[in-house]
Structure 1
């Protein structure tokens, strides 16, 4: 009964979601509180490599030390397959780190659900494949681990591709908004604002001309003290010819 409960899809999915939530929230806190999201793209990749190495040490190197004393070829083959799987773990962690950096930079915390979902997907894809084929091929442990390795490879590549798409979408949107803001500030805050003030000055002058002479002279003197430059005029097509 305990074995059935341990290998049930509900248990597997629940544990994968829990791992995804804990790990991605920890990654989010580190990026947000430590300012890691301000790093350049190269710094983000280094952070992903560091994260992956930490998981490798905790989940692979330490258990490996206990297996080094065995001489069984099957155990050695499993160790080799596990060592290969760590390369795909590296790809996965770099992808998730880039994704978290992009999410934090975007300022929309709700997007963290994307990171948690992808992390959960990668956990389920590899673990479910391993448990499924271990139950189908109970005597073929090496084959089961090989199939699990292929599943992990596919999951890592899928997460990487989705991360690239999300990164491009958010980055392109941010770049477009920055360019729009730059144009708005450059154009609106200089030439057009000056043009508005110059137009207001002309309207005030026309209104003054309709006043009594004494009021007119006093207001004209006050208006002349307003040093407002004329707006720059853009050349019409063919004017330079």
Structure 2
């Protein structure tokens, strides 16, 4: 994703707390993650910037828009957990399970529960994601190779506990948002399209949704260039 949007733009990326080179220290909650984004902008000397976020990063971008819209010139929210109801989480989990072999689902659920209980290891969390990985794509049989990655189980479990606490008030805080906001959502993603459309409707006229046929959760992998094209339109219109 970063490679797709970098050319021609001044781009900054940062590591969220929980993994080096960022701080490994708590708290791991949504308000702190939002404050970290603001701290990064301040550290760069950027008063305002366009924001791009995918999945959990897209959901975090919604919280940034709700808390500090004055810091965002435009927002692209890619295949996010939404801001209305449960954000589409229940449908997302059900669809992941439907697309995944039963024996893999059973193992992944065991690993996920250990992670949410704060008892799992990083290797457990990576194994769980690897088991579900093909289901994130519109055509699981043609899924991209699983990438190398690191995870913090402590940060993951605490952040999602906070996410569930903060979610009920998010839609109300987004109503009337004036920042141009584009939701880019794969029609073949396990995340329901309603996660984006319902949130855009809650925001109002400043929000739009582009649904991508034959695209899963990772739009830039399924259709290279589509994110960049959408970003160019968003910031230049």
TM over 0.5: no
Whichever of the two has the greater Rg, that structure is 1
TM-score, structure 1 length as denominator? 0.24
TM-score, structure 2 length as denominator? 0.24
Structure of higher RCO (CA pairs closer than 8 Å, 6+ residues apart): 2
Structure in which a larger fraction of residues adopt strand: 2
